Structure 1
């Protein structure tokens, strides 16, 4: 083992220890050790002690220079030895850069968990006693880009994804010196064993058929073949994109959104019993039973002028809203694939973090944060698969 010969002023160090200046003491100790480590490294590299004449010498000492090293405990200034030919480079900086990745990852984790760049800067300043600019933190978060991109493009062909849920939420982004609204498309799925998977995301200028098709083609290219159901709300562009992209797949209209669309058309007076019957329709155990209850609803309320709009909405969208009751859908899946509620909860996690940012500086920063949030949630699912299996949560 290398024996270090400490040449620093030990009396100064002892004085700081006795003075109970703990922060200064720790930093001084680290400076002392690292300086001696570098000195020993240079001697090992030269293969000769100071003023020693030997044929094995590879270079000559050439003084020192000062270099700052930022660690999680703050900034320290080291005296770095150098050689005449300049080929020597101490390993300290590379080694501690790797060691301090834990601190870097902590900063990134704060960012992913919704802590704004401004707040991250304040936390770092408090912990380290050093001034770290917002641009430094912003540049640091860009380290997430290749990680998020790799996750967003990972292959999915090894999974049997029978049920896919899609939805969009809107964010604000600065673009060409103005604030614009952009749509974030998110897709999740259930495999044939009931386990959840987060498939990916896509950001576009608007929610239209072309943008949805682009997103679906990305998913298909990564291995998503025609599922049994694609579950979503009734946005026209989305529905058209589903029908064109997934041949042989049924579209399941989200029953939660559908019931809201019907209820909003009901009159304020006398709708309590109508809502009760409406809920019974979608609690049916088969398509046959649901159709009978639908017919009963239309018989009871179809002739009332104040209910005609509600009856029209029900009648026109009914068949698309009961696909989950089909014979091809396993019984233990039916109640879980009739709405986008599971995706709505994930959207809330994204929204909670997005609200802190409020306005993203560019589209890439939005993709980075939303993607990192989805990645983090996917990791939670992977480490707790049984907890996220749908029939474990009844």
Structure 2
């Protein structure tokens, strides 16, 4: 088409408004229709053993028997095909299988739109408006539900025997419970393996009281192969430390320092926040627990501490879960100081779920979050591929891996420090 100048002619007609690309009668649907029909005729010729009109087919026990009209939904609009038939009814087309109602990447498009935060009704309107394809609510729902088994398989997949560090954080989602819509916490766990590579271990929607819920989560992780965790970094979740210690007695449960600072700052006026932040720094940068305690007492006795006693109480109440942090060397502190590894993911996920209103059930929450994580990582990977051939020294703007498969910075030094701190628990896995 390009060599013959036909492409330029088509584009000029599109620019002039005399031809549309997609939708009924559009250039792309008609071109795809022609290609598919020609391909189906070629498949039938191969099945019969002779071409259409070939005298060699005379007397053959099977022959062509006209066509059957069929409408296919596609990513460029509806396609009205004339599918060829044979008299014996033995022809099974592979290009467009019998019973198929969609073709091309339409299913993938719908799943991508769903993963991007669009509701089923939004997708329905979007397809009708952009490509002229009118799919029912039930059809779109079935397409998105088709990944449910894949999600279940992912959620039940075997895990590593040990994860030196696990980050746990949550985001709030609205889920319908009977005739009410309630806030629930969707918890996401990220594990760092012995190579320093991050993995999303699972997604759980908290529907019961803390201790009972976390006992189930820990039991599930252990049943999937996790026999030991060195450090779990989380944000003061009710019942979680007890569940962790019941499952992995030697695991250190560490309160996220950044969460602790933010919690204290809730009680501080905007004008004093910088001063309070400076005053709190000696606490979490202290070389020992005793030094940190003296720093906290100094802050409590200061004018700022007396002005904001609730901020002081925040640190006092979380003290037992904070001080394990101070026992580690700087290489490890840098990694467990914050759950940013998972908060950056949650930030992206919140943008996706904010316009959805509420979810019909917990499984729908897990399905969307899993699809969203996969979609985010796929988009980032495509951007990196585009820059793969650039010469060295060229500025690259493509983002790295968000979570899954990303490597923790400074991991070698941190692993060395952990090996010294936990020689008996790591030696058998490292050697």
Whether contact under 8 Å (1:181, 1:205) holds in the other structure is no
Q: Partner residue of 2:373?
A: 374
> In structure 1, how many angstroms separate the alpha carbons of the residues matched to 2:321 and 2:302?
22
Q: Partner residue of 1:169?
A: 171
Whether contact under 8 Å (2:74, 2:105) holds in the other structure is no
Q: Partner residue of 2:157?
A: 154
| Offset from partner CA, 1:299-332 (integer Å, 9 cap, x none) | 6689x97776665554453232021221xx4532
Q: Secondary structure at the match of 2:168?
A: strand
TM-score scaled by structure 1? 0.78
Rg larger in structure: 1
Q: Partner residue of 2:215?
A: 213
Q: Partner residue of 2:88?
A: 85
The alpha-carbon distance between structure 1 residues 376 and 323, as it changes in their structure 2 partners (threshold 3 A), is farther
TM-score scaled by structure 2? 0.72
Q: Partner residue of 1:280?
A: 282
The alpha-carbon distance between structure 1 residues 322 and 191, as it changes in their structure 2 partners (threshold 3 A), is farther
Whether contact under 8 Å (1:189, 1:196) holds in the other structure is yes
User: Where do 5+ consecutive residues of structure 2 fail to align?
Assistant: 1-12, 385-399, 412-431
The alpha-carbon distance between structure 1 residues 355 and 207, as it changes in their structure 2 partners (threshold 3 A), is farther
The alpha-carbon distance between structure 1 residues 232 and 207, as it changes in their structure 2 partners (threshold 3 A), is farther
Whether contact under 8 Å (1:167, 1:187) holds in the other structure is yes
Whether contact under 8 Å (1:68, 1:76) holds in the other structure is yes
Q: Partner residue of 1:252?
A: 254
> In structure 1, how many angstroms separate the alpha carbons of the residues matched to 2:316 and 2:54?
97
> In structure 2, how many angstroms separate the alpha carbons of the residues matched to 1:133 and 1:229?
48
The alpha-carbon distance between structure 1 residues 101 and 154, as it changes in their structure 2 partners (threshold 3 A), is farther
Whether contact under 8 Å (1:182, 1:206) holds in the other structure is no
Q: Partner residue of 1:346?
A: 345
User: Matches of residues 1-394 of structure 1 in structure 2 within 5 Å?
Assistant: 21=19, 23=21, 24=25, 25-47=27-49, 57-94=60-97, 100-157=103-160, 160-262=162-264, 276-297=278-299, 314-326=315-327, 329-376=328-375, 384=400, 388-391=406-409
Residue range with higher mean Cα deviation, 345-354 or 24-33? 24-33
Q: How many residues align?
A: 373
* Aligned alpha-carbon RMSD (Å): 4.0
Shift of 1:102: 2.9
> In structure 2, how many angstroms separate the alpha carbons of the residues matched to 1:39 and 1:271?
74
> In structure 1, how many angstroms separate the alpha carbons of the residues matched to 2:65 and 2:124?
39
Whether contact under 8 Å (2:68, 2:82) holds in the other structure is yes
Whether contact under 8 Å (2:72, 2:101) holds in the other structure is no
> In structure 1, how many angstroms separate the alpha carbons of the residues matched to 2:297 and 2:84?
88
